[in-house]
C-alpha cells in the first residue's frame, strides 16, 4: 500500500476528482458540497492522496487568520478507507504547517472524532471557533441540531 500511495498538493487537473469524491459524501451531509468553481478557486488549499495513480482522497485547509486553520473537505474513497490514507494526508498537512508557521491551531468539526483523536487532536467546545460558526454554520440546515464534534490540534502538541 505505502509504496503505491502519494500525498501531494492538489493542482488544477485534480478539480474533477475532488468534486466527485466530495459529492459521494455531500449527499448524506458528511461534508459540504462544493462546486467545481469553488474547488478550482481554492485548489491551493487542497492536499490529495493518489493510489496507483488515481486520486483517492482529499483534504483542504482553510486559513481563518490569527494562526487559526480548519481542516475541511476531508474524504477517502469508499473501499480504500481504513488503510492509513486519511492519516497520511493529515500528517503531510501538519508537517507543512510546522514547516511554514511558527505557531498554529488546526481544528475540524467532524462526525469522526476518533480518527482525529488518533492523530493527537482533542475534543473542544464549538464556541471556541466563532469564525467558523459565522461563515458556514449559520447557513447549515443542521445549525440548530448540530451533531458535529469540534476537535483541535495545536503546534507543539503533536
Ligand X SMILES: CC(C)(COP(=O)(O)OP(=O)(O)OC[C@H]1O[C@@H](n2cnc3c(N)ncnc32)[C@H](O)[C@@H]1OP(=O)(O)O)[C@@H](O)C(=O)NCCC(=O)NCCS
Residue count of the chain: 158
- Smallest distance from the beta carbon of 102 to ligand X, in angstroms? 26
User: Alpha-carbon distance 41 to 49, whole Å?
Assistant: 19
- Smallest distance from the beta carbon of 153 to ligand X, in angstroms? 13
Beta bridge partners of 9: 47
Beta bridge partners of 124: 150
Instruction: Please identify, using beta-carbon distances, which residue of 103 and 107 lies nearer to ligand X.
Output: 107
- Name the residue with the smallest CB distance to ligand X: 86
Number of other CB atoms surrounding residue 143 within 10 Å = 11
Q: Is the four-CA dihedral 65, 68, 71, 73 of positive or negative sign? A: negative
Binding residues for ligand X, rule: CB under 6 A, are: 25, 30-31, 74-76, 81-87, 108, 110-112, 114-115, 118
Instruction: Tell me which residue has cell 501531494.
Output: 8
User: Alpha-carbon distance 27 to 44, whole Å?
Assistant: 25
Instruction: Please identify, using beta-carbon distances, which residue of 84 and 120 lies nearer to ligand X.
Output: 84
- Smallest distance from the beta carbon of 79 to ligand X, in angstroms? 10
Instruction: Please identify, using beta-carbon distances, which residue of 83 and 155 lies nearer to ligand X.
Output: 83
- Smallest distance from the beta carbon of 14 to ligand X, in angstroms? 16
Instruction: Please identify, using beta-carbon distances, which residue of 36 and 117 lies nearer to ligand X.
Output: 117
Amino acid at each position: 500500500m505505502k509504496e503505491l500511495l502519494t500525498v501531494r498538493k492538489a493542482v488544477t487537473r485534480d478539480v474533477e476528482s475532488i468534486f466527485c469524491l466530495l459529492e459521494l459524501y455531500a449527499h448524506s451531509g458528511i461534508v459540504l458540497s462544493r462546486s467545481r468553481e469553488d474547488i478550482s478557486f481554492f485548489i491551493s488549499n487542497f492536499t490529495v492522496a493518489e493510489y496507483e495513480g488515481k486520486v483517492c482522497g482529499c483534504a483542504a485547509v482553510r486559513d481563518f487568520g490569527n494562526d487559526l486553520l480548519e481542516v475541511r473537505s476531508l474524504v477517502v474513497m469508499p473501499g480504500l478507507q481504513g488503510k492509513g490514507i486519511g492519516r497520511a494526508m493529515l500528517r503531510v498537512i501538519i508537517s507543512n504547517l510546522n514547516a511554514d508557521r511558527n505557531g498554529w491551531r488546526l481544528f475540524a468539526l467532524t462526525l469522526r472524532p476518533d480518527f482525529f483523536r488518533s492523530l493527537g487532536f482533542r475534543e473542544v467546545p464549538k464556541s471556541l471557533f466563532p469564525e467558523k460558526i459565522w461563515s458556514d454554520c449559520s447557513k447549515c440546515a443542521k445549525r440548530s441540531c448540530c451533531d458535529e464534534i469540534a476537535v483541535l490540534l495545536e503546534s507543539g502538541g503533536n
